[in-house]
A and B are shown apart, each in its own frame.
Chain A
Amino acid sequence: MTPLLSLLVAQVPALRLPQVDYFALLPEIVMAGMAFVTLGARSLTRRGLPPAVWTLVTMATGLASGTLAVLLGRRVETHGAFAAVDGALAVDGFSVLFLVLVSAAVVLFALAAHPWIEREGEDGAELLSLGMLSASGAMFMAAANDLLVIFLGLEILSIALYVLAALNRRRAASGEAAIKYFVLGAFSSAIFLYGIALTYGATGSTNLARIGTYLAANVSTHGGLLLAGLALLLVGLGFKVAAVPFHTWTPDVYQGSPSPVTGFMAAVAKAGGFAALVRILFAAMPTLRLDWQPVLYALAVLSLVVGAILAVVQRDVKRMLAYSSISHAGFILVGVVAASAAGAASVGYYLLTYTFLIMGSFAVVTVVGGPADAHQDLEDYRGLARRQPLLALGFAILLVAQAGVPFTTGFLAKFYVLTAVIAQGGYVLAVIAMLAAVAVAFFYLRLVLVMYGWAGAGAGAGAGAVGPVGDADAAGAGEVVLPAGTTSLAGVGAGGGGEPDLAVLGGGGGLALATATSTGVEQAISGEGLVAAPEGLAAGDGDPVPFPDATKVVLALCVAFTVVFGIWPAPVVDFARHATLLFGLR
């Protein structure tokens, strides 16, 4: 040791090494580590392994990570929330919920992407390991207790998604989507980073718990710096979750990206973004509630209204789902606006159910899209019920659930969000949200009717409820006739249990679970008269749509989750209630 060095060592205080609780980190370690292993294995195998290997590895990773997260949840239940790795990570009910959510998304992503990988001849190891890395980013975001960890998680999540968006190299749109996503995403990340800098300047820490303590102990009379930091943080996260003034990238990126990636993007990026948002606002800045609540209120209203209106005029199914995801973001923001424990739980529940809804939907879009994801127009779905009855049925259930029809998780999600905000006195917001839900439901139902051939469906459903929708659709392609949609929805709502298509869909869902391959479901439906009349199908007989096994599994999983926990909500709701156990929440 040189004299200089020994001098240095002598002068500095003793180094306090951080206590690393590896068990608390295990879900993230498994997820990121398996991505590393996958890439390493792919690099070392000269000839390459069949894609199924990578799919299975990814699924196993997701399952392992989810299981570990559940075990972690047990520990949180018995020992309470705690901080790990020198306060960088918070281990609480909230993070456990999102760890499970992201793990589930990874499993579904592997399944949904498998047919796409085989069809497009892409490299499964790259796609799936990028997916796993991205998921680990979302997990870090959800569990982060430090603004820097949130930022790094955000970057890991986003950069992997930029690459994933560009993976379909046979479509120019894919590259375009990646460029748009990258430029706007990098811009928003920079804004977020600037927000971190200002917040650090104002509070002297990047640690959320310490920021919370500081803000609780000190009243700032001139909080300009902190408010500016908060505003920039909100803008940065608003981009990621596609809330309305910051949503412009969403339709193009959703449309251009490979379909399974779009589903994954919608599920995981939203989950990560909202987890970070809730944690920053609820755990670090609850004292500034009066400052951020109005901003989020505006974001929620704008997202709800703009998402609903623009979703209705779309012809492209992926664009439609993009706008509907904006509308969903508005709903989740309503839960954030509630700024209560129930609000946090409803946000978690909404995102959990949304993950299954959107992953399943995009699994269907993947197989219907055909080579290079070319078939995305509404017309490509015409008569899907005859070409692939089970596929159409599963998609219909997921769409109807997204619309918020009772006996599905989609309904419960909206219900809990609205309950949370009404409990805080946000009646106006609740009414706006309900109206937006009705408007956006119009498109889901139109898509369902198109799949089943709308002429036949109008006759089959009988009640005047669905008639106006069919008329609106026939009147003009893409014309918004909101009153028509509204009345139809009112009809559906008023019909309640007596509405035939609801009963059928519920029963069909049960059947689909029991016999994923049998034709019994098809017969059950045709018995109810829901299958379209022949003249409706003759016009829209498109290409044959394959229905690979992996898609069957993912669709069955998503539909099962949606219907089973829609009818028997207790387990998931209880699980989400644990999300109220926020570390550092006062």
Chain B
Amino acid sequence: MLAVTITIPDLVTFVLAAAIVLVAAIGVVVSRSPVHAALCLVATLFGIAVLFVEQNAEFLAAVQVIVYAGAIVVLFLFVIMLLGVDREEAIGKDPLRAQRPLGVLLGLLVLAEVLVLSRLSWPIGQPHVAGPVGGPSSNVADLARAVFTTYLLPFEITSALLLIATVGAVVLARRPPRSAGQPGAATGQPGRATGQPGGAIGQPGGATGRPALDGASQPDAADETGTVRSPEREGAPR
């Protein structure tokens, strides 16, 4: 593995991509505007995609660009918009004074560790799982064979992860239920608190999510834009 000679174009590509990754990663951390940080993240992910290409992992590079740079950063931007773009992060003062120096120190330690590790000769077992890179079949086919045979189980249980993500997104984006008018209504004996007319606590089961999602149909949800959940407003009925 390590005996492979590195050609000049490879080296140039690597250095360029690594520089992009590093600079952009620092940009993510230090930029004041969250939008700039998100855009720096795109650059980081793009640099990583280039590194993937250089490692002959073309499919991963494409996925990196499509999913990460394309979709996930867009999601980040959505959330930033959701919370207000022009609000600058208060990164001036930390609640814990020692936090930042300690973080820098830890980072340097990890860097030193990585450098030390990279000097060691590494024990290497079998070099690849999916098949030799640049073998007779295409990169995607190699990957597919690994995913759909050897890693069949991980692949299938990924679907559960996707389902949880969906449910989580819906549950968390839903507006909090009204405490059914007065706190007393909800504090009663179990089994009686549900289904108050007018409250957002619908009949348990299917109907709960329905009024919660469409802010427009709520009687006092005049500002449709303010649908960020604010549990404090409801308060904990004592």
Q: Chain A interface residue count: which class?
A: 35 or more
Mask: chain B, 67-94; 1 = CB below 8 Å from A; 0 = not: 0000000000000000000000000000
Output the nearest chain B residue to A144 by Cβ-Cβ distance. Answer: B153
Q: Within the complex, which residue of A16, A45, A156, A370 is in contact with B157, where a contact is CB–CB below 8 Å?
A: A156
A91 within 8 A of B: no
B205 lies within 8 A of A47 (CB) = yes
> B167-187 interface mask toward A, CB cutoff 8 Å, 1 = contact, 0 = none?
110011010110110010011
A133 touches B163 (CB 8 A): yes
The prevalent SS among residues of B at the interface is: loop
B154 at the interface (CB under 8 A from A): yes
- Whether the Cβ atoms of A45 and B122 lie closer than 8 Å is no
Bound: A122/B167 CA distance, A: 14
- Complex: A103 Cα to B122 Cα, angstroms: 42
Q: Which residues of B contact A586 (CB under 8 A)?
A: none
**One of B10-18, B19-27, B32-40, B135-143 at the interface:** B135-143
User: Which of chain B's residues have a CB closer than 8 A to the CB of A211?
Assistant: 125
Binary B-proximity of A34-55 (CB < 8 A = 1, otherwise 0):
0110010011011111110110
Q: Tell me the complex Cα distance, A537–B121, Å.
A: 71
Using known A-B contacts A8-B137, A171-B236, determine if residue A214 contacts B205 with beta carbons closer than 8 Å: no
Interfacial chain B residues near A513, Cβ < 8 Å:
none
The reply on B55 being an interface residue by CB < 8 A is no
Binds A, one of B44-52, B101-109, B226-234: B226-234
Do A123 and B204 form a contact, CB below 8 Å, given A86-B152, A133-B160, A225-B117? yes
- Report how far A233 CA is from B18 CA in the complex, Å: 26
Contact of A225 among B123, B164, B174 (CB under 8 A): B123
- A sample of 13 more A-B contacts (CB under 8 A), given A123-B204, A371-B187, is A15-B149, A35-B160, A86-B150, A121-B186, A122-B177, A125-B205, A130-B164, A136-B157, A153-B157, A166-B171, A169-B231, A175-B229, A218-B125
- List residues of A (97-141) whose CB comes within 8 Å of B's CBs: 115, 117-126, 129-130, 133, 136-137, 140
B152 touches A85 (CB 8 A): yes
Nearest B residue to A42, CB-CB: B206
Note all chain A residues with C-beta closer than 8 A to B165.
159
| B201 interface residue (CB < 8 Å to A) | yes
Alpha-carbon distance between A397 and B126 when the two chains are bound, in angstroms: 54
Is the CB–CB distance between B161 and A156 below 8 Å?
A: yes
Q: Kindly state whether residue A18 has any CB partner on chain B within 8 Å.
A: yes
User: Nearest 7 A-B pairs (CB), nearest first?
Assistant: A204-B125, A48-B205, A48-B206, A121-B201, A169-B176, A163-B168, A88-B153
List which A18-75 residues lie within 8 A (CB) of chain B.
Answer: 18, 20, 32, 35-36, 39, 42-43, 45-51, 53-54
Interface bits A210-228 vs B (CB < 8 Å: 1, else 0): 1100100010101111101
Say yes or no: B164 contacts A51, CB within 8 Å.
no
**Which residues of chain B are within 8 angstroms of A122 by Cβ–Cβ distance?**
177, 204, 208
In the complex, what distance in Å separates the CA atom of A122 from the CA atom of B206? 10
Tell me if A2 is interfacial: C-beta within 8 Å of chain B.
Answer: no
Say how far B208's CB is from chain A's closest CB, in angstroms. Answer: 5
**Residues 196-238 of chain B: 1 if any A CB is under 8 Å from the residue's CB, otherwise 0?**
0000011111111100000000000000000001011011111
Using CB atoms, name the residue of chain A closest to B238.
Answer: A374
* A163 to B173 alpha-carbon distance, docked (Å): 11
Nearest A residue to B145 via CB reads A15
The answer to whether B190 has its CB under 8 Å from any CB of chain A is yes
Distance A380 CA – B68 CA, assembled complex (angstroms): 49
Q: How far is the CA of A205 from the CA of B128 in the complex (A)?
A: 8
Structural contact, B203 and A48, CB atoms closer than 8 A: yes
Q: How long is the Cα–Cα vector from A211 to B161 in the complex, in angstroms?
A: 26
Nearest CB in chain A: distance from B193 CB, A: 6
Report if A89 contacts B (CB, 8 A).
Answer: yes
For the complex, is B191 an interface residue (Cβ under 8 Å from A)? yes
A201 at the binding interface (Cβ < 8 Å)? yes
Residue A241 CB within 8 A of the other chain: no
In the bound complex, how far is the Cα of B34 from the Cα of A303, in angstroms?
A: 38
Which residues of chain B are within 8 angstroms of A36 by Cβ–Cβ distance?
163
Distance of B121 from chain A, by nearest CB (Å): 5
In the bound assembly, the distance between CA atoms of A57 and B186 in angstroms comes to 26
> Given A49-B205, A129-B167, A130-B167, is A218 in contact with B123 using a C-beta cutoff of 8 Å?
yes
Among B117, B120, B204, B231, chain A packs the most CB atoms within 10 A around the CB of B204
Q: Which residue of B lies closest to A121 (CB)?
A: B201
* CB neighbours of A140 from chain B (8 A): 157
Q: Tell me the bound Cα distance from A162 to B136 in angstroms.
A: 44
Query: Could you say which of A16, A226, A374 contacts B237, with CB atoms under 8 Å apart?
Result: A374
Chain B positions within 8 Å of A152 at CB level: 154, 157-158, 161
- In the complex, what's the smallest C-beta–C-beta distance from A106 to chain B, in angstroms? 15
Give the CA-CA distance A98 to B164 in the complex, in Å: 22
Residues in A with CB closer than 8 Å to B124 are 201-202, 204
* B177 engages A172 (CB within 8 Å): no
What's the least CB distance linking B71 to chain A, in Å?
A: 18
A260 to chain B, nearest CB (A): 13
A17 at the interface (CB under 8 A from B): yes
Cβ contacts under 8 Å, A206 to chain B: 129
B168's contact among A45, A86, A162, by CB below 8 Å, is which?
Answer: A162
Q: Which residue of A lies closest to B157 (CB)?
A: A152
Would you give the shortest CB distance from B55 to chain A, in whole angstroms? 13
Residue in B closest to A53 when the chains form the complex, CB atoms: B205
Within 8 A of B (CB), among A226-247: 226, 228
Please give the distance in Å from A71's CB to the nearest CB on chain B.
20
- Is A496 part of the contact surface with B, judged by Cβ < 8 Å? no
Q: How far is the CA of A86 from the CA of B147 in the complex (A)?
A: 12
Q: Taking A156-B160, A204-B126, A372-B237 as contacts, is the C-beta distance between A119 and B205 under 8 angstroms?
A: no
User: Contact: B154 with A42, CB < 8 Å?
Assistant: no
Partner of A8, one of B141, B154, B235: B141
Q: Which of A133, A146, A156, A372 contacts B236 (CB 8 A)?
A: A372
B205 and A118 contact, CB distance less than 8 A = no
CA distance A293 to B141 in the complex (A): 42
Contact assessment for B117 and A228 in the assembled complex, using a CB-CB cutoff below 8 Å: yes
Name the contact of A170 in the complex, choosing from B127, B145, B176, B190 (C-beta under 8 A).
Answer: B176
A472 in the interface, Cβ–Cβ < 8 Å?
A: no
CB pair A133–B125 under 8 Å, yes or no, is no
In the complex the two chains form, is A172's CB within 8 Å of B232's CB? yes
Please state if B153 and A85 are interface contacts (CB–CB under 8 Å). yes
CB distance from B98 to the nearest CB of A (A): 15
User: How far is the CB of B194 from the nearest CB of chain A, in Å?
Assistant: 4
CA distance A210 to B154 in the complex (A): 17
Contact of A136 with B160 at beta-carbon distance under 8 Å, contacts A118-B194, A205-B129, A224-B117 already known = yes
- Is A287's CB within 8 Å of the partner chain B? no
The docked-state distance in angstroms from the alpha carbon of A121 to that of B211 is 14
Q: How many Å from the CB of A501 to the closest CB on chain B?
A: 32
Chain A residues with CB under 8 A of B231: 169-172, 174-175
In the complex, A541→B189 CA distance in Å?
Answer: 19
For the complex, what is the distance from the CA of A149 to the CA of B206, rounded to whole Å? 33
Q: Can you list 8 A-B contacts (CB < 8 A)? A: A20-B152, A152-B161, A159-B161, A169-B231, A170-B236, A174-B231, A371-B187, A548-B190
